[in-house]
Amino acid sequence: MTNDEIFLRLKDNLKDQIEENNLAGSSIDITCRALSSTEAIGKPDHDDYPIVKGKEVMIEAVFKGASGQAFTDEFSDSSFPIEKLLIIDHQNTRDRATFVAGLNAIYKYLGLCEKTVHCRNQEPVDCANHLVTLAEFQGKKILQVGYQPRFLEMLLKKNQVRVLDLDPDNIGQIRFGVLVESTPQYKEAADWCDLVFATGSTLVNGTISTFINQPKPVIFYGVTIDATACILDLKTYCHCGH
């Protein structure tokens, strides 16, 4: 699927849910705002997470008391009727982030997905510790797409790992003994690996089609992709999300 096909399918599914659950109407609003790092992740023991370093922000949409979040490096505060999500532009990062956060909030409200709010404080470490208890993450060659320090640290205990990232401050650096590579290395790294472990924020930054359209198994991590994974039947990992 192309990015356009992915977002059109998401919008079609959302339209069906709006109609089936009688959610249409100008009185129903979604309000999006950017969270501070403390609001998004609390006060974890480590300060090397992208959101703590200010490289990304978490935006949060709230719909009828249900929260949905999305990682992004571009955002705008907004409040609008629910129907606007059906026509919002999905050609740029800012609007994709707004759509994804809103979709997560609505599907959380409807009980169609569960993990739409980021874990906090000690939970990122707990999430990483649990990851390596799963059979899929033992004795494999894993390509981690998106530098998530706790995941990399734990995965290296039982696996060979390569990491790709978009942040120029990470690319070319050694993290936990692993060289962080850039996205042009994806094809060679994908051929090398047994499993792609990719951040769900690829949905927002517009690169998700690269990972969906390839033969290796893919597991997406994080809250950003939760509702989308339910709609598209994607495999995910988010042990401590809320």
Is 227 inside a domain boundary? yes
Q: Between vectors from CA 138 to CA 197 and to CA 154, what angle results, nearest 5°?
A: 70
d(CA 106, CA 184): 35
Residue 28 in this model has a pLDDT that exceeds 60: no
pLDDT at 237: 97
Same domain, 42 and 71: yes
- pTM beyond 0.85, yes or no: yes
Domain end among 77, 109, 141: 109
Is 48 inside a domain boundary? yes
Same domain, 72 and 157: no
pLDDT tens, 107-147? 999 999 999 999 988 898 999 999 999 999 999 999 999 99
Backbone dihedral angles phi then psi of residue 34, each to the nearest 5 degrees: -85, 135
Residue 165 in this model has a pLDDT that exceeds 70: yes
Residue 189 in this model has a pLDDT that exceeds 70: yes
Is 242 inside a domain boundary? no
Domain count, the chain: 2
d(CA 196, CA 4): 22
CATH number of the domain where residue 180 is located: 3.40.50.11590
Same domain, 104 and 133: no
Same domain, 68 and 147: no
Is 114 inside a domain boundary? no
Domain end among 109, 135, 151: 109
Domain end among 52, 84, 109: 109
Parent domain of 200: 123-237
Task: List C-alpha distances in Å: 107 to 44, 171, 199, 200, 231.
Answer: 28, 35, 20, 16, 10
- Residue whose C-alpha is closest to residue 98's, from 7, 23, 16: 7
pLDDT at 27: 40
pLDDT at 91: 92
Same domain, 99 and 132: no
pLDDT tens, 14-24? 999 999 999 98
Same domain, 63 and 129: no
Same domain, 131 and 215: yes
Residue 235 in this model has a pLDDT that exceeds 50: yes
